[in-house]
Structures are given as structure tokens and as C-alpha cells.
Chain A
């Protein structure tokens, strides 16, 4: 049985934040869950996916976040407790349904989880999704710890049902990817069958209906404001005159800093767990009892500006600060020292920050950036495209996935990236504006996510570029989640359809479609060359399963290669491919047999034919 399905209330487990959230969903009796995977949210859905095979929970990997939210909206308006989770930028994709779902509301409890990523550990930006709660008029909850995340998630469903609105649940990476002891609560069996009662004047958002629904949304928001005033998640700690208002993980740094500075008795800390609507009266009362207030929040001055506005309305002149020089930054994430320093500076207490050891005499550390894996098919494709496009003046728009790592030397096959699916549509702009040869790259999962619409656009508007679809048979970067092109039989799962990328591309109207196996180097280069000559939109589908995934499915027999005595040390292999299986022993290139998966790409580019399979011994 899945460890999160064990019904043993009171037991304490060591859980990752994302596991605690998944457990919270089970304890809340979630019946329906949808997602598109994205770090740092991915383990929530992975656990729900696994549990759905052992319980009544319906779970799906949807094609993108907008679809996921719409699927969930249907289920929630049929009365089911529904959860939809995504990374912060995923909510941009889902923003369209979000804004009007807020008008329509929900029947069954619905939680929309946004996993923000301050400091961008694995994201293209660090946008602060608290603003989505303001923009949509939906309540937002933010936990400060792993254990609280589970409790708060259960409450989020209750709150959603009380208001008839979806509830936004915002985490940050340090909640998702922290671990702590979590006491289990009882599991609520889910209600898995719902019904939909027709009521077009409530559910069909034509202007006349929406005008009424907006009124209802504001009424709900006003009810939510009353709930926020009494929320058990907006709490005050301490009785001092120096005020701190904070949220999320910043609360932990504030608590530790208070001890470190020895000023616990001088402080009063307001921890905001329900950040929309804010508890206006609670905040005003809090301010009026303070001599000076510091707002401690990662990201944008969301609380700070609201608190300052409330002070103005109440005619309070108490000094309020947050973001600023010598205080706190809008950039990246906080840590205990950053917060301690800001508190010491602002309130005027002495603080000796920890003194790191002197580092200046240490030798320069060579970088260890993440790299495409040994035998990664993307490396093979990049090599072949680079060869095929030699001598051409090219622009390489790319997309989001493992293959983005191809931007590093020596491959350097990525010139432009903004968001999921942008490879295809930006290619339209680049090719039209520059007249240069544009070759763009997109993964299979990303193609289904948001590449298809761009391709339709390219055909309709008669653009001219080559799109390379890197079809490795899985959503690799986030941990091998399935997508519509995957053969689910590989996972021993039944009851799924399957969409062929090749057929989709042809149906969209692409006249030049080439399928290559990137492990066959010479053939691939020739086929790509021929395709690049085509005027108009051409597509190359480069098909080879992700090696990590293939290994986990036991679909490849690894046979390592070695460098034989024929090697003349040109180093073309290592210098152009930079496969992590290569290493230098003195000046001689070697292949680590434990790392090599036997893709044989290097063997095909060696001019001396010096790379051969390791001879079987015995």
C-alpha cells in the first residue's frame, strides 16, 4: 500500500512537503485531481497518481495547466472535491479559466495549488503568485511549514465549500522540498460520483450573467474577509511593541531570528496564513499597538503595500518598512541571516552574523552545471542538426525541458526561450523579421502542452522554419510523467488513448515531416539537411526514448563502449559531445563503463573508428 494511504491517525511520518500536501488531499477526501507537472510541485501529483491506482481517487495528467483547471472545474461543479496543482508559471497558462471560474464558483470544494519558486531553482522567473488572488478575487492560503501545509490544505477544502469558490493555495520551494515530521490525521473517504444541475443563468458566462456573477464574487470576497479576520491561520505571537508582519517560510526565519537576537519579549509577530482577503481589522489593531513595523515577505511587497494602505485609512503614522536597501530584497529567497540582519538593522539591535571562513585562498572551483545525461538522445539530435546546418546563418529558439540544457557549451543549441511552447511561435517572428534560417526545438510533452497551437499559426500564416520535435517518449525533466503521446502499456496501465505526434503534425498541415532516429548519426544528418532545404514549415521528429526512462522500464540493454588503442587523441568526441561518460586520464580520453549506456553516437563520429563496444570477457 502507498505510504500516504495508511489510515493510522496519530502516527508521525517523515514527509517531504509535497508528500504532506498529497496526504492532506487524501485526508480531505479529494475525489478528483488534475495537473500538468512542474517543479517544485511535481511530487504532489506523482504521489496522487500512484495513489489513484490503489484508491477511488481519479487523477489525470492533463495536457497543460489550462486544460487541467478546466477539467477540474467540471468535476468541482459536479460536486466533487477537486484539486488542481501546478508550478507558478503554470497558473499563467491557467489564468484564463481561473479568472472566470472565480465568477462561476464551485459546488464541491476546489483547491488550486500554485508552487512558487523564489530564487528560481528550476524556473524561468520568480513571479509572486499572491497577485493572482487579488486579480481573481479568490481566497489564498499560504503555509509556513510542512506539517502546517497538510492541515491548511484540509481547511482549504472546507473554506472553498463554505464560500462556493475555488481556494488558491500558495507554496514556495522551501515548503515543497523541505521534509519534517508530520502527524497523520484520519482519511476521509472521497465522494467519487457527482451530478450537474443545469442553471445557465449561473453557469454560462455571457455578459448579462457575468454582470451578476461579479456581484456575487465581491459578496463572497466580503464573506471571505470576515473569515480571514477570525482565521486560525492568521496568528499573533508575542506582546512586544516592535511589530513584524510576515508570511510563509519568512515566519520561520523571523522566529529563529527573534531567538538569535534575544528579542522575543520585545516583538509581536503577525503571521499571515490567509493572504487574500487580508484581515484588515486585525492588521489595523496590530499596527496601532506597535511602535515600528517590519514586513518580512519574499518576493514582491504584497503585504507591505496592503499594510501601508490600511495604516493610511486608519490614520496611523506608525513607521512601516519592508523592501529596501539595508532591509529586504524583492530578489530571490530569504535565509535566516538575511532576515536576522534586516530585523537587527531596522529595530536597532546588535547582531554578529555568522562569519564564513576565508575563501580567497581556495583554488578556483570548476563549474558543475547540470548536463544532458550519458546517451541522452537530445545530445545526438543537437549534434546532427548542428552538422546539417553547418555554414548556415541560423537562429535556434528552444523550449522548456531537459533539452534546454543544450544551451551550454559545447552544444550551444539554444538562442531564445521565454515560456512553454514559445519555441514554435517565436520562430514565426524570428524567421519573418530576419529572413534567416530558423530551427527550433521542442519536447514531446511541451509540444502537446502548447506547441500545437503555434504550429497551426505557422501553417495558417505561411511561416518558414524547421521545428524539431524531440520525442523521448516522456515528460523527462520533471520525473518521467506520461503525456498524450506515451504508450501507457509501458507503465502497465490500461484505459488510456494515445496521440501520434506525426499524425497531429500532418493533420495540422505540415507538408514536410521527417522522422529520424538520432542515434543513427549519418542518416540523421542527411535527413535533416534535406528537410532544412524545404521552404515553408517543416517538422523533424527526432524519436528516441529518454535513456533514464528506458533504463527504468528495462527497455535498453546497456552495452558500454570503450576507447581503443586506435585513438589518436583528436578529442572530437569529448569536445563536441561532452557526454558525461567521458573523462580524461592524464591526456587520454576514456569512457566510464559505469556511466556509458551504449548509444554509440561517439563511435560514429570518431574519425579513427577507435570507439568500440567493450569486449565481453569470460
Chain B
């Protein structure tokens, strides 16, 4: 089976590990080979959290520079920081709501202009799907559902070999019961947003 390489980047606390886990459970349901590696030692300390996910017949669990077919960014600055993983054929999906690091607040660096950033990224890769995922998560019922909004967009882009139904089943069985309805709504909102974006 063809190999699909997906990088997910987020800021600690944005829920990317749960999103990766939901994808993995969906892959398990679908019988699709799935391997993932995470760097999460500092996840709760506001650092960058990265998951590398490899679908298909590969043995590696990590992804080299320029090797990702899809980059899923939970935060625009982190999407930009992970652009080294992309090549000209990569699909980039990103939330546009910024979460400025404290270094910006104390005057060590400037947060990039998000409009400008979109233009720059769009020129470099095959497809850019960019939208305010946080607004949709809030619309679904909780800002914490941002991760599932972005999963919706990822599945809509058809860049990974997993279907919407498989992800929804994983959401129903593997996310907290109290959040299932919010998560399903978040998934649909993200899915729709990706249709209209980029």
C-alpha cells in the first residue's frame, strides 16, 4: 500500500495527541497500517508538540525534511516553523487563530503577519487549506474541539487514506462521552470549512 506521511504540529495543550490517537484508532478500524511518533516531554509546558504519522507500508515512525505529504498545523506560527517538512507537492492545512508565544510578549521576536504568511505558504505547496478553526470549535461548543475541527478538514482534503465514517466511529468510541456530540459537530464544521477554503 502507498505510503502517506503526515506531520501534525501544535502548541502543548491544543490536543494534537488526542487527534493523532483518533486517527490511529480510525486506521485500526480500517485495517490500514499506521505508525506514529510523538515528541511530548514538554507538552504541558507550552512548548511545541509534534506528531509524525506514517500510513501504509513503511517501517519508519518519523518523517524527514521535505518528506511530508500533509502538514496539519494547529497554530499558524507553528505551521510556518514546520514548513521544512514540506515539498512542492505537500498539502498544508492550518488553523489561522494565532497563539503568540510568550517570547513575543516580552519583546523577543515579532509574530508574523498571518495574511502574508498564507500567501507565502500557498505559493510553495500544492494546496493550502487555511481557516479559523478556533472559531469553528467554539461554534461546535468548545475551544478544546479545535483538534477535531482540523481532523474534519484533514479528512475532507482526502490526503490521508481514512474516511469520515471511520474517524466518526473513532470519535464515538475513543473520546470522552461528554464531548462526543461537540466533537462530531466540530468534525463536520472542519470538513465543510475545508471544502470552501483553499
Q: Are A and B a genuine interacting pair, yes or no?
A: yes
Give the interface of A toward B (CB within 8 A): 12, 14, 39-40, 121-122, 144-146, 174, 177-181, 249, 251-253, 255-256, 333, 335-338, 353-359, 361-373, 402, 405, 409-410, 548, 574-575, 578-580, 582-584, 589
User: Which of A252, A368, A582 makes the CB contact (< 8 A) with B78?
Assistant: A368
Contacts of A363 in B (CB 8 A): 80, 110, 112-113, 116-117
Give the interface of B toward A (CB within 8 A): 11-12, 20-21, 24-25, 28, 33-42, 44-48, 58-67, 77-78, 80-81, 83-88, 90, 100-113, 116-117, 120, 124-125
B interface, over-half SS? mixed
Contact status A365-B112, CB under 8 Å: yes
Known: A256-B59, A370-B12, A578-B105. A357 touches B80 (CB 8 A): no
In the complex, what residue of chain A is closest to B85 when comparing beta carbons? A356
Contact status B59-A14, CB under 8 Å: no
A-B contact pairs, 28 of them (CB 8 A): A14-B28, A40-B41, A145-B59, A174-B37, A179-B20, A179-B21, A179-B36, A179-B38, A181-B28, A252-B61, A253-B60, A256-B58, A336-B60, A336-B63, A337-B65, A354-B64, A356-B87, A357-B124, A359-B83, A363-B80, A365-B109, A366-B104, A368-B77, A370-B45, A370-B47, A371-B47, A580-B102, A583-B105
Contact status A335-B64, CB under 8 Å: yes
Contacts of B39 in A (CB 8 A): 121, 177
Closest 3 CB pairs of A and B: A366-B109, A354-B66, A370-B47
Contacts of B62 in A (CB 8 A): 174, 333, 335-336
Contact status B66-A353, CB under 8 Å: yes
Contacts of A371 in B (CB 8 A): 45-47, 102
- Distance to closest chain A CB from B45 (angstroms): 4
Contact status A252-B59, CB under 8 Å: yes
Distance A579 CA – B105 CA, assembled complex (angstroms): 10
Contacts of B36 in A (CB 8 A): 178-180
Contact status B106-A578, CB under 8 Å: yes
Contacts of B104 in A (CB 8 A): 366, 584
Contacts of A355 in B (CB 8 A): 66, 87-88
A interface, over-half SS? loop
Known: A174-B61, A357-B87. A122 touches B105 (CB 8 A): no
Contacts of A358 in B (CB 8 A): 124
Known: A253-B60, A373-B44, A402-B45. A366 touches B103 (CB 8 A): yes
Distance A364 CA – B109 CA, assembled complex (angstroms): 8
Contacts of A578 in B (CB 8 A): 102, 105-106
Contacts of B101 in A (CB 8 A): 366-369
Contact status B35-A179, CB under 8 Å: yes
Contacts of B41 in A (CB 8 A): 39-40, 121-122
User: Which of A179, A357, A575, A589 makes the CB contact (< 8 A) with B66?
Assistant: A357
